[in-house]
């Protein structure tokens, strides 16, 4: 198993951007921590070298930080982009959604 070497900057081809809000949507993987299911957090880093079969640049482990400070790693299929931030912004500015 390799040593962890998190990357804290955007990587072209990575599935999400550093700082992007994501929602945990689940997984059939036995290692998935269901405590985070439905929770929203912020992408903080990518990990390509911890020995879990990651592929550069498209398939990293993704470090997500949750309110309260907890950080957990997920595969891209366990996450989706969180659109609630756009909705909140639209409500604050009075912007209407496109039909």
Q: Which residue has the higher pLDDT, 50 or 91?
A: 50
Region 52-65: mean pLDDT is 92
Q: What is the pLDDT of residue 93?
A: 56
Q: Which residue ranges make up each domain of the chain?
A: 21-90
**Fold category of 21-90 in CATH:** SH3 type barrels. (2.30.30)
Q: Which string of b and e fits 62-84 if b means at least 16 CB within 10 Å?
A: bbbeeeeeeebbbbeebbeebee
Is the model more confident about 50 or about 71?
A: 71
Read off the pTM.
Answer: 0.80
pLDDT tens sequence across 62-89:
999 999 999 999 999 999 999 875 555 5
Q: Helical H runs in 1-99?
A: 84-93
Residue 37, number of CB atoms within 10 A of its CB: 13
């Amino acid at each position: 198993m390799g040593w962890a070497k998190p990357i804290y900057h955007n990587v072209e081809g990575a599935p999400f951007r550093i700082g992007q809000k994501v929602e945990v949507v689940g997984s059939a993987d036995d290692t998935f921590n269901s405590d985070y299911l439905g929770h929203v957090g912020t992408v903080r880093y990518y990990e390509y070298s911890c020995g879990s079969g990651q592929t550069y640049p498209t398939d990293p482990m993704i470090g997500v930080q949750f309110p309260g400070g907890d950080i957990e790693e997920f595969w891209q299929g366990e996450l989706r982009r969180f659109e609630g931030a756009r909705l909140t912004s639209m409500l604050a500015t009075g912007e209407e959604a496109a039909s």
